[in-house]
Amino acid sequence: MTGPSANRLRAQHAPNAIRRAGAHGLRSRGDDSGVATTELVLLFPLVFSLMMFIVQVGLYTTAVQTLRGAADAGVTAGRFVQPVDDLGCEAFGVDPTDGARDSATRQATTDYITALASGNIQSARIDTSGTTITCQAIIVTVRGEINMMIGGTISLRVASGSPVERFRPDV
């Protein structure tokens, strides 16, 4: 038998064939109990790890920006302090770290770190090996450590620099 009547006959008996397949131990298409629990158990650690990674990246970025701000504050404070002579410290053999510029740089950097880095950054300090103060330029290096959410620490090192502002009288 072919034609439209054969298709109607097959369509009428299709639900019975599915029921019989379920009765013989084959899984029917509507039985998906326990699938949601399995998906939750498999996907929850992945989603939770992704969320923790996003938060950790945010903490890292905040710490880097805070240390960069501290270094910039030190550079800004140190570049406007005039040396002992206004014509230039190299001409007369004056030490560029005569104390005024160095102390202004350290004070501004320390104040910035104290004000903003109390929660996230551990052991923030000015790195004297990376800090350069000359008559032409000032470079301030700040180091710090942040705690990771899963344990351990990440060490950070941020540097900022700028030319020193000097008064040059009209000649």
Q: Is the pLDDT of residue 74 over 80?
A: yes
Q: Which of 5-14, 87-96, 151-160 has the lowest mean pLDDT?
A: 87-96
Q: Can you say whether residue 130 is alpha, beta or left, with left for phi > 0 and alpha for psi between -120 and 50 degrees?
A: alpha
Q: Which of 71, 136, 82 is nearest to 110 (CA)?
A: 71
Here the tokens at position 48 are: 């939770």
Identify the pLDDT of residue 110.
Answer: 85
pTM: predicted TM-score of the whole model, two decimal places: 0.66
SS3 of the chain: helix, strand, coil, percent, to 5: 50, 20, 35
Tokens 């109990």 label which residue?
Answer: 33
Q: Is the pLDDT of residue 3 over 70?
A: no
Read off the pLDDT of residues 115-163 as tens digits, 9 standing for 90 and up: 886 677 877 788 765 667 676 778 889 988 888 888 888 899 999 988 8
Q: Is the pLDDT of residue 32 over 80?
A: no
Tokens 């301030």 label which residue?
Answer: 140
Q: Is the pLDDT of residue 169 over 80?
A: no
Identify the pLDDT of residue 166.
Answer: 66
| Cα–Cα dist 87/166, whole Å | 8
